[in-house]
Structure 1
């Protein structure tokens, strides 16, 4: 796998997170300030242009008030819409 190109799942996570950012009503500039992630890096993450480290993902999700697990679940639904939820 090419380390520069996010997987389909990574891209789905980025897309769902980007929608959460939009729903929260915060600009990328303000999100960058609040998260401590440089603007250009943050932009690449949420637009799916660069893989997002777990620490950055959880930080961004927390800033916009969304449980990271909810984003992951929504991304799984995007990537595998017919896959059943695993039993735990």
Structure 2
């Protein structure tokens, strides 16, 4: 997720929290409705001046929108890392299942392993 997409998500969250329609947000901020729609769909870069206009409507500072965007980016990065870890684990399990002979441990091949298990503790 890039900063533009994350900022669009932050704007969408603030708009929802404020209970504003896109049309209302457009009218209050001065950002054209079509531009706002394209921004929220991540089809258009968001200008700093537009962030300032929108933040004013939400009653927050522009940097707060960016901070929220950074949180979206951090969350997305954590989710991607979890997905990669899960995929690596799944791949390893599949590899072991397909070729168990390559991953056998010495204890499983020891002919005396059963005898050792029967040896009483002193």
What band does the TM-score fall into relative to the shorter chain? 0.7 to 0.9
Note the residue ranges of structure 1 that are not aligned, 5 or more in a row. 1-6, 83-88
Q: Which structure has more helix as a fraction of its residues? A: 2
- Within 5 Å, give how 1:52-63 maps onto structure 2: 52-63=46-57
Aligned length: 76
Note the residue ranges of structure 2 that are not aligned, 5 or more in a row. 78-122
| TM-score, reference length from structure 2 | 0.56
CA RMSD after TM alignment: 1.7
| TM-score, reference length from structure 1 | 0.75
4+ residue runs over 4 A deviation: none
Larger Rg over CA atoms: 2
Bigger RCO of structures 1 and 2 (CA < 8 A, at least 6 apart) = 1
Shift of residue 76, structure 1, vs aligned partner: 1.3
